[in-house]
Amino acid sequence: MNPSKPHREISIRVENLGKRYQIGQGAQPAYHTLRDQISTLVTQPLRWMGIRAKEDLAPRYDENEFRIWALRGVSFEVRQGEVIGIVGRNGAGKSTLLKILTRITIPTEGSVDLWGRVGSLLEVGTGFHKELTGRENVYLNGAILGMKKGEIARKFDEIVTFAEVERFIDTPVKYYSSGMAMRLAFAVAAHLEPEILLVDEVLAVGDAAFQKKCLDKMEEVGRAGRTILFVSHHMPAIVRLCERAIWLQDGQIYREGPAYQIVSEYLSESLGTTPIREWPDLMSAPGDEVVRLQAIRIRNAQGEITDTFDIREPVGIEMEYVVLKGGYALHAGFSLHNDEGQWLFASLDTDMEWDAKPRQPGRYRSLAWIPGNFLAEGTMMVGPSIRTEDPEILHLYEPETVAFQVTERPGLGPSSRMGFVGHFPGVVRPFLKWETHLLDPNPWNGRPGLRVENLP
């Protein structure tokens, strides 16, 4: 810890951080038994005399072969009041990073400086003593954070109400379900006013209502000017809550930048998606002797090829194809699936200029627009097709050929979320037109004895 705070109001500074673990035969035991201690006492004099014990004759292993770097060369700064998301695949080093920041794990190399009281929620019931009651654990955690008893008491009722454990607050925590322990642990971490809040996968446990409460509370903590590091696999929550994101890969910082941008790049690279596919050689292109597909591209409203769209933006699906044999009334089209394999919809060319008209040979381009505020967040897979309706002939269909990401960036105007933070269900999310009118400001007028306070 540096004794003086830096000029630029930094809350967290990480410099060249690394954590190395021993695995396999090279790993050191977590603890030593009495038998181990006796064995050491017996063999040490023999080694001093030049006599090797039986185990000394075993083949030697290079301990470097059994070392793994969970983190290596990680450096970043977080300013006071920033909300930072940490993304990456399992094993990327996300949880190790938070454990070092909370001093649960000692780094192998590098340094960490923190300015401010740190609250953390790394797993279910972190920091709880199983034999103590919920009430006792609240006061214990507050004391660990350096709070006075009066400060904890002022927050106590709010914590218990948020966690919804009023009936069990004087029950030992060892009898709590995982959901109860998570609710109380999050309530303690978020309500005891730490300057720095570290949260790892808070959405992994609990129902949808509790997840929404957690996200709402984290937004409130962020607005209060406190610093948050949020690890999650729930990408909409990262985009919603975080200004900036850090992408960890193989224990190193792979990319960092605006949260919506990092999330889009992470999803695209993780799923191997691409917004363009082209077949320069017609002989190997999808199709038959009538028509061949030469390209399919995903474009935005500016005409740029991209795989990242805000939920409010229109998405253009462009197909380029070559008609080899005339006389067929062709319809270009596509199917759209999400990353869960659900078929969202299919669309065929609705340009009436070509409806039921045989095509002459040549190169064609068809472009369809999916309107903004229609698709939900997620990954969308596009499968192009070309068919003849009469007679019915499917000339080509290439499922999941290209793909794009839909995310929802905060601050870009209204959407159907309207401030809702948790998981928003449904495969589409249209922004429908609503109207609300005040019909009667005093509906109980003229009805004796009916008052608001008397309603059930």
Domain count, the chain: 3
Domain assignment of residue 1, yes or no: no
CA nearest 186: which of 125, 117, 247, 233?
125
Domain assignment of residue 423, yes or no: no
Same domain, 142 and 24: no
β-partners of residue 317 are 298, 368
Output the CA torsion 120→231→4→2 (10° steps): 90
Q: Tokens standing for 14?
A: 């990480």
Q: Report pLDDT digits (tens) over 312-332.
A: 999 999 999 999 999 999 999
Does pTM surpass 0.75? no
Q: What is the pLDDT of residue 448?
A: 59
Q: Report pLDDT digits (tens) over 84-124.
A: 999 998 889 998 998 899 888 899 999 999 998 887 777 55
Same domain, 92 and 58: no
Query: Residue 38: which domain range?
Result: 19-67
> What is the rounded average pLDDT of the residues 63-72?
75
C-alpha count within 13 angstroms, C-beta hemisphere, residue 147: 24
pLDDT mean across residues, the chain: 81
Measured distance CA(101)–CA(107) in Å, rounded: 9
Q: Report pLDDT digits (tens) over 329-370.
A: 999 999 999 877 789 999 999 888 888 889 999 999 999 999
CATH code: domain of residue 392: 2.70.50.60
Q: What is the pLDDT of residue 328?
A: 92
What percentage of the chain has pLDDT greater than the value 90?
A: 36
Of the pLDDT bands very low, low, confident and very high (cuts 50, 70, 90), residue 51 is: very low
Amino acid at 258: P
| Cβ-based neighbour number of residue 338 at 10 Å | 19
Same domain, 336 and 291: yes
β-partners of residue 382 are 336, 402
Same domain, 266 and 346: no
Domain stops at, among 407, 424, 439: 407
**Residue linked to tokens 């903004």:** 372
Q: Do 119 and 217 touch, CB atoms closer than 8 A?
A: no
Of the pLDDT bands very low, low, confident and very high (cuts 50, 70, 90), residue 304 is: very high
Domain assignment of residue 357, yes or no: yes
Same domain, 29 and 128: no
Q: Which residues contact 214 (CB under 8 A, 6 or more apart)?
A: 186, 190, 202, 203, 206
Residue 453 pLDDT greater than 70, yes or no: no
> What is the rounded average pLDDT of the residues 68-83?
92
Q: Report pLDDT digits (tens) over 232-285.
A: 877 777 877 888 999 999 999 999 998 888 887 887 777 667 899 999 998 899
Domain assignment of residue 36, yes or no: yes
Domain assignment of residue 2, yes or no: no
Q: Report pLDDT digits (tens) over 385-426.
A: 999 987 889 999 998 899 998 888 766 777 777 766 556 778
Measured distance CA(328)–CA(120) in Å, rounded: 66
DSSP assignments along 14-49, one per residue = EEEEEEEEE-GGGPPPSS--HHHHHHHHHHHHHHHT
Of the pLDDT bands very low, low, confident and very high (cuts 50, 70, 90), residue 46 is: very low
Residue 79 pLDDT greater than 50, yes or no: yes
Q: Do 194 and 141 touch, CB atoms closer than 8 A?
A: no
Domain stops at, among 236, 254, 271: 271
User: Cα 69 to the chain's mean position, in Å?
Assistant: 23
Same domain, 109 and 246: yes
Same domain, 141 and 228: yes
User: Cα 374 to the chain's mean position, in Å?
Assistant: 22
**Residue linked to tokens 């009436």:** 352
DSSP assignments along 333-349, one per residue = EEEEEETT--EEEEEE-
> What is the rounded average pLDDT of the residues 372-386?
91
Residue 42 pLDDT greater than 50, yes or no: no
Q: Do 404 and 315 touch, CB atoms closer than 8 A?
A: yes
What SS3 class is residue 207?
coil
User: Cα 392 to the chain's mean position, in Å?
Assistant: 44
Q: Report pLDDT digits (tens) over 156-198.
A: 999 899 888 899 999 998 898 877 888 888 888 778 778 888 8
Q: Tokens standing for 107?
A: 């780094």
Instruction: Say which DSSP state 159 is in.
Output: H
Of the pLDDT bands very low, low, confident and very high (cuts 50, 70, 90), residue 53 is: very low
CA nearest 87: which of 262, 274, 272, 340?
262
CA nearest 320: which of 343, 288, 298?
298
Q: Tokens standing for 227?
A: 């610093």
Domain assignment of residue 419, yes or no: no
Q: What is the pLDDT of residue 33?
A: 44
Same domain, 54 and 145: no
Same domain, 236 and 287: no
Same domain, 283 and 218: no
Q: Tokens standing for 24?
A: 């396999």
Q: Do 114 and 101 touch, CB atoms closer than 8 A?
A: yes
Of the pLDDT bands very low, low, confident and very high (cuts 50, 70, 90), residue 1 is: very low
Residue 188, judged by CB atoms within 10 A of its CB (0-12, 13-18, 19+), counts as buried
Residue 67 pLDDT greater than 80, yes or no: no
CATH code: domain of residue 239: 3.40.50.300
Domain assignment of residue 432, yes or no: no
| Cβ-based neighbour number of residue 448 at 10 Å | 6
> What is the rounded average pLDDT of the residues 136-157?
85
Domain stops at, among 250, 271, 292: 271
Q: What is the pLDDT of residue 205?
A: 53
Q: What is the pLDDT of residue 3?
A: 47
First to last CA, the chain: 58
CA nearest 205: which of 247, 163, 157, 263?
163
Same domain, 105 and 200: yes
Residue predicted with more confidence, 203 or 38: 203
Q: How far is CA 427 from CA 65, 177, 312, 356, in A?
A: 48, 32, 15, 32
Residues in the chain, overall count: 456
Same domain, 257 and 391: no
CA nearest 331: which of 309, 353, 355?
355
Q: Report pLDDT digits (tens) over 196-235.
A: 888 887 655 556 677 777 777 887 888 888 898 998 877 7
Domain assignment of residue 118, yes or no: yes
Q: Tokens standing for 69?
A: 């770097």
Q: How far is CA 107 from CA 104, 133, 226, in A?
A: 10, 33, 25
Q: What is the pLDDT of residue 40?
A: 53
